[in-house]
Structure 1
Amino acid sequence: MHAYYADHFVLPLPEGHRFPMAKYRMLRDRIAEHLPGAVLKEALPASDEALARVHSPQYIDAVAHGTLAPAAQREIGFPWSPAMAERARRSVGATLAATRAAWREGVAGNLAGGTHHSYADKGSGFCVFNDVAVAARQAQADHLNDGSGWPLQVAVIDLDVHQGNGTAHIFQGDDSVFTLSLHGARNFPFRKEPSDLDVELPDGCADDEYLHALDQALETLDHRCKPDLVFYLAGADPHVGDRLGRLAVTHDGLEARDRRVFDWAWQRRIPTVFVMAGGYGNDLEDTLQAQLTTWRVAWQYHQRWQNVRP
């Protein structure tokens, strides 16, 4: 199973910054130790052409050269640096590469990604470029170019605790992409964009309520969309120990969530690209445990795909 990373591009964040940048390298080390069958590969940067399938040329250029207005840079939440711009491109590049691998093998992932607060013309909430949106558009373009003869249908299953407002806005009115977001009702962003299916959860939502809501959401997705490709944002931030999450899902609940999503896609033989999205544990070990569990579950479903492929 292919796993793409760009964690060696570390942002020079100021002392006390709340974003846990170290988690990406730590996750790569855990995967190397506990999942020796995973093929870890450094991600290449996304090209301007790929980014422009979603983002405006002016925004791409401003990120590249550090010319965003101060307010726009503050909304992203990171100070500009060459490493910030390069890491943003490579985070998208990792999801692009994982998408190509998932087409071949059924399941592949990005050790980062899930930057779903990014709009076409601005970033927000630690999200610079929208990796899933760019990869979805690139997959659709590649599909048209290979002469398959039908438009590629995509489903985005966003289980980060925060609503995927940027993704929802990018794909509003587009019948070829179905956006599903299961998120905390009272959490960031406080002005939400309408997804094709939004499921709002109350503060303190625990395993049973969370999994019931997910089951209903997947059933609705089944009735409303027949995707050829799934992007799964496997946020660790619904966990009870997450300092930004406000929900109360346990590690067992998160593992059950992952199994539901991967099994839903497997039963329908839909290639699945998964990305890590958010995770801000009071104890960073909680975030790493949840993410490593996602990779272990993904590995099991990747093996199922290999057993049925010619």
Structure 2
Amino acid sequence: MWAFAIIQSPKPPEHIPEVPIAYHHGYNITACGIEKLHPFDSQKYGKVFHELNIQGQYIVPSKCPRSLLIAVHPFWFLLSLCYSLQIFRAIEVPIFFLPAPVLRWRVLNPMLLATHGSIIAGCAAVTNRKFGINLSGGYHHASSTSCGGFCIYADITLTIYWIRRWYPEAVKKVLIVDLDAHQGNGHERDFIKCPDTFILDFYNDEIYPGDFIAKEAIRYGDNFNFEHTDEFYLEKLEIALRHCIKVFRPDFILYNAGTDCMQGDPLGNLNISSSGIIKRDEIVFTHSIENHIPILMVLSGGYQKQNAATIAKSIKNLNSKFNIYT
């Protein structure tokens, strides 16, 4: 496991809004239209938020302060993000000719907002002993010292670090449930041989990233392909969650709810229907709530225009079942 820096801890947020959902209008990523060269729908966060029509005060994060970032990301890594080529390599869009201030404004700042959103929504889940949802985040290809796959900051690792630091009596053992179609190699590299972090990862082994070193951190994994149906996938998920919770007994669940496993996704190459995604999320939340385990949901990948509608329907379904924001 990477040795996280020991720093003087900033204080946890003093006030968590009544609605445990994090969103900022700056989540959406735009860079002079160049973002359209990547299949990722960088506008999906705003679409989901407007579909939800949230009533009441929700979490509005600021840009993640450096005092939080340096707990996980070393200074040399943060310094490397001043160079356009480093960001180009991570998000796979030809933006290396854009000046660094533009990239920080249009690419890094939205991801800093989303990273802080994950941390604060995680705090909301712990303090209300139920749930938090960040309408962005889930940068599961980013580790403490590397970035890639449209992921810059390791918001999953950062969230786990800070909730453990801020709420040591409440959170020691964390279960990461990663259901994005891609292997979550970033957080896996950060938590290799960490006994207090249990990683469940369902992914397509035939696509990016194929990180064999990171796979050593997966304590319950399963591979899926285009032939697997909703019924098969959801049955496997039920079995996996029952096993992981019974064996590990986590204090907190971080749910990486990628929707790139949905039918037609150009990168995920899996075959889960929209209704299957909605049922998947309900299953994860049901196991969490029935076992009295706080859960944070982050959105992660999903590369179709219809993803936003499916995510919004799923969160509305969670709200109807568990009264999240009404």
TM, length-normalised to structure 2: 0.83
Counterpart in the other structure of 2:209: 189
Aligned pairs for 1:20-35 within 5 A: 20-32=41-53
Counterpart in the other structure of 1:295: 315
2:118 alignment partner, SS class: helix
2:243 maps to which of 220, 228, 231: 220
1:191-226 Cα deviation digits (max 9, x unpaired): 342122221112332201111221221122123311
**Is the 2:140–2:185 Cα contact (8 Å) retained in structure 1?**
yes
Counterpart in the other structure of 1:126: 150
Identity of aligned residues (%): 22
Alpha-carbon offset, residue 52 of structure 1: 2.1
1:151-209 Cα deviation digits (max 9, x unpaired): 61111111111110111110111111111111112121123421222211123322011
Change (3 A) 1:304 1:289: closer
Moved more, 98-107 or 256-265: 98-107
1:157 alignment partner, SS class: strand
1:16 maps to which of 22, 30, 37: 37
Counterpart in the other structure of 1:56: 74
Residue type of the alignment partner of 2:279: A
Give me the whole-angstrom Cα distance separating, in 2, the residues matched to 1:304 and 1:88: 25
Task: Give unpaired runs (5+ residues) of structure 2.
Answer: 1-18
Alpha-carbon offset, residue 39 of structure 1: 4.0
In the alignment, structure 1 residue 170 sits paired with structure 2 residue 190: yes
**Is the 2:90–2:151 Cα contact (8 Å) retained in structure 1?**
no
TM, length-normalised to structure 1: 0.87
Moved more, 207-216 or 164-173: 207-216
Counterpart in the other structure of 2:263: 240
Task: Give unpaired runs (5+ residues) of structure 1.
Answer: none
Pairs aligned (count): 293
Change (3 A) 1:41 1:151: closer
In the alignment, structure 1 residue 265 sits paired with structure 2 residue 288: yes
In the alignment, structure 1 residue 6 sits paired with structure 2 residue 24: yes
Give me the whole-angstrom Cα distance separating, in 1, the residues matched to 2:187 and 2:144: 9
Residue type of the alignment partner of 2:260: D
1:67 maps to which of 71, 83, 87: 83
1:280-306 Cα deviation digits (max 9, x unpaired): 12xx12x01221123123324542899
Give me the whole-angstrom Cα distance separating, in 2, the residues matched to 1:129 and 1:219: 31
Change (3 A) 1:171 1:201: same
Task: Output the aligned Cα RMSD.
Answer: 2.2
Moved more, 247-256 or 214-223: 214-223
**Is the 2:21–2:135 Cα contact (8 Å) retained in structure 1?**
yes
